[in-house]
Amino acid sequence: MKSFLLPTLAAFALSSCTTINLSHKGALFKKSMESISSADLKKHLYIIASDEMEGRETGSEGQKKAGKYMISEYKKMGVSHPNTIESFYQTVPQEYLGARRGKTYPESENILAFIEGTEKPHEIIVLSAHYDHVGKNKAGEIFNGADDDGSGTVALMEIAEAFQLAKKAGKAPKRSVLFLHVTAEEIGLVGSKYYVENPVFPLANTVANLNIDMIGRSDPENKGKNYVYVIGSDKLSTSLKKINEASNAATVNLELNYKYDDPNDPEMLYYRSDHYNFAKNNVPAAFYFDGIHEDYHRPTDTPDKIDYELLKKRTQLVFATAWELANREERIVVDVKSSQ
């Protein structure tokens, strides 16, 4: 998650009552959700957040190594890239990244994996997480970024595998699902900004964005709790928050904390991760987050400190919400007036 703030915007309306009829039924959904395991999340994260990746700074060789690993795993699953592009890569040019904070960044890449829908393939659910981090400090210490955002990166991979298992069993989603691993989040949400300005599918066809940025730890006030912060889910659509709550109640039953939806909260987290670029473009979005902990943006954000059981439950919640968004009869609508 990026460490600087964007300007304050006005508050948004709260969601109204909506009836949600879930599609979380049957053994296949359960089997797919249970395929998301703490063991697999741990296996992937110990690679993504290893010293070999050198902190995954935007455009670095370490980040590119992490990207190659992710793509190799997608290929093993049988998950490909969108047919609107020639590979898993969406290049973000060096001139677009430019010079930021006194430093020039080289060309980098968003990584896109895709499962096509059966009944409404042109309607897209976008799941996002950034796979960059902040590299090394002047002393050469590696900032592994296990939680930020290695946790979101591996969550997307596991969710893709769960959808792919359902597809292989004859239950591909009705709507298409795009797994968007963005670069350059840490230098100002640049990779997601590039995507929404150069979408591989029209933004008008993007039903919702579920963004995962730090879901592997607990902050001091929630130690020992099965919780997750959900941010922004009612800012544009009255349905998205209700769907997420119903999906949670039907599956992992986490405590959903809406602290950061308060427009007066000083952290202003609604504006600080990649979902915001979708929300600015009128796409309903929810941001899943574990809070600010003692290792945030420090070399001590390492994979041994991740709560893998809690990471699994949070990942399963995002999967369950995405499953409902992808399989329900009607796409959710934008029905809350935005002042953005």
Q: Please report, in tens digits, the pLDDT of each residue of the chain (340 residues total).
A: 765 333 322 232 333 334 577 888 789 999 999 999 999 999 999 999 999 999 999 999 999 999 999 999 999 999 999 999 999 999 999 999 988 778 999 999 999 999 999 999 999 999 999 999 999 999 999 999 999 999 999 999 999 999 999 999 999 999 999 999 999 999 999 999 999 999 999 999 999 999 999 999 999 999 999 999 999 999 999 999 999 999 999 999 999 999 999 999 999 999 999 999 999 999 999 999 999 999 999 999 999 999 999 999 999 999 999 999 999 999 999 999 765 5
Which burial class, exposed, middle or buried, applies to 67 when counting CB atoms under 10 A from its CB (0-12, 13-18, 19+)? buried
Query: Does the N-terminal peptide bond of residue 149 adopt cis geometry, omega within 30 degrees of 0?
Result: yes
Q: What DSSP element (H or E) covers 268?
A: none
Rounded Cα distance between 237 and 265, Å, is 21
Q: Residue-wise over 253-272: b if at least 16 C-beta within 10 A, else e?
A: ebebbeebbeeeeeebbbbb
Write down the pTM of the prediction. Answer: 0.94
- pLDDT, residue 18, reads 45
Q: Which residue has the tokens 């455009």?
A: 59
Could you tell me which residues are beta bridge partners of residue 285?
A: 209
Token pair for 290: 């574990």
Distance from the Cα of residue 116 to its chain's centroid: 19
